[in-house]
Amino acid sequence: MERTAPEAPASRRIGKHDSIVSARHRPLALAPHRKRRIDFDLKDQHVLDIDDIDQKRKRFGNHSFNAHPSGPAQAMSHVHVLQHPLVSHHLCQLRDKRTRPSEFRAAVSRLAMLIGVRATDDLPTQPVTIPTPVADAPCHELATDIGIVPVLRAGLGMVDPLLDLIPDASVWHLGLYRNEQTAEPVGYYDKLPKKGAPNVALVLDPMLATGGSIDMVVRRLMRWGVEDIRVLSIIASQPGLDRVANDFPHVKLFVAAVDPSLNEQAFIVPGLGDAGDRIFDTPQND
């Protein structure tokens, strides 16, 4: 995200150990104790809801951001933190404030590729027979419809490597920015059609900070009818990861690293700064 933060129907088995909760046939129901204000395109019924300031402070505190009381998320089966030497190596380059924008973009791309491979390792396939120059060969091809959903603008830096992995995937954009006074996300772009949701949505956002932007995106995709939602982030804060993991147990989360905290401006600590600014070389001078 650009710098700025139901009892369900029966589940359907997708992978060996993974069940996906369907939200296709019921509207999203918000808990009665949560008052939310609406900010999005009411004309097309493309509505993304955001917590008001009081709700934000109840969740995070007035001046600090504390871990979700039910955490930590890493112990949950739907949360996956990558452990790989190449992941560690490229994270070092991303975190280094001396890394030039071109090098930063390249490192984001490599990490997105590594995370993407892990996040798609249980996609359903179907057997096919392919003629080779020598003889017919038994193979398996993907048997599901996949959509890539980058969260504008920083998520754009992760799109190309995912398309390299899944060339036939569709790409749908959701635009959010952070309200600097409340650290809450505000939606500004949503052109999802009313029908035609993919079976699987891969949500791309390099930084999972407070979890507010992912909360909005997941709820929007559920209303659209996506049954299998997977979030791919490079760095998550512990409180943000705990929040999303506890609020959405049917959503799989894939991250390269988990940092312990957020500062008073809702930036991940130690983090890497503003991913969008570093990807697009647009430093803020305020």
CATH of the domain at 228: 3.40.50.2020
Active-site entry in 18, 52, 145, 277? 277
Which range, of 71-75, 83-87, 167-171, averages the lowest pLDDT? 71-75
**Is there a domain that residue 263 lies in?**
yes
Pairing of strands 261-262, 268-269: antiparallel
Q: Which residue has the tokens 């990558």?
A: 82
Q: Is the pLDDT of residue 59 over 60?
A: no
Alpha carbons 195 and 91: distance in angstroms, whole number: 38
Active-site entry in 3, 219, 274, 278? 274
Active-site entry in 182, 190, 205, 220? 182
> Can you give the length of the chain in residues?
286
Give the model's pLDDT for residue 264. 87
Active-site entry in 153, 178, 223, 243? 178
Q: Is the pLDDT of residue 66 over 50?
A: no
Alpha carbons 226 and 133: distance in angstroms, whole number: 40
**Is there a domain that residue 6 lies in?**
no
**Is there a domain that residue 5 lies in?**
no
Q: Is the pLDDT of residue 88 over 90?
A: yes
3 state SS of 208:
strand
**Is there a domain that residue 28 lies in?**
no
**Is there a domain that residue 1 lies in?**
no
Which range, of 41-50, 78-87, 91-100, 166-175, averages the lowest pLDDT? 41-50
182 in catalytic set: yes
Pairing of strands 174-178, 185-190: antiparallel
Containing domain of residue 185, as a range? 11-23+35-280
Q: Measured between alpha carbons, how far is residue 92 from residues 86, 98, 99, 132, 266 in Å?
A: 10, 11, 10, 43, 22
Number of domains composing the chain: 1
Q: What is the pLDDT of residues 163-219, one digit of tens each?
A: 999 999 999 999 998 887 777 889 999 999 988 899 999 999 999 999 999 999 999
For residue 38, what are the β-bridge partners?
A: 49
Alpha carbons 118 and 205: distance in angstroms, whole number: 16
CA-CA-CA-CA dihedral for 22, 26, 31, 32, to nearest 10: -170
**Is there a domain that residue 29 lies in?**
no
Alpha carbons 129 and 261: distance in angstroms, whole number: 51
Whole-number average pLDDT of the chain: 80
DSSP output for 106-136? HHHHHHHHHHHHHHTTT--EEEEEEE-SSSE
Apex 239 CA angle, 236 and 243, nearest 5? 95
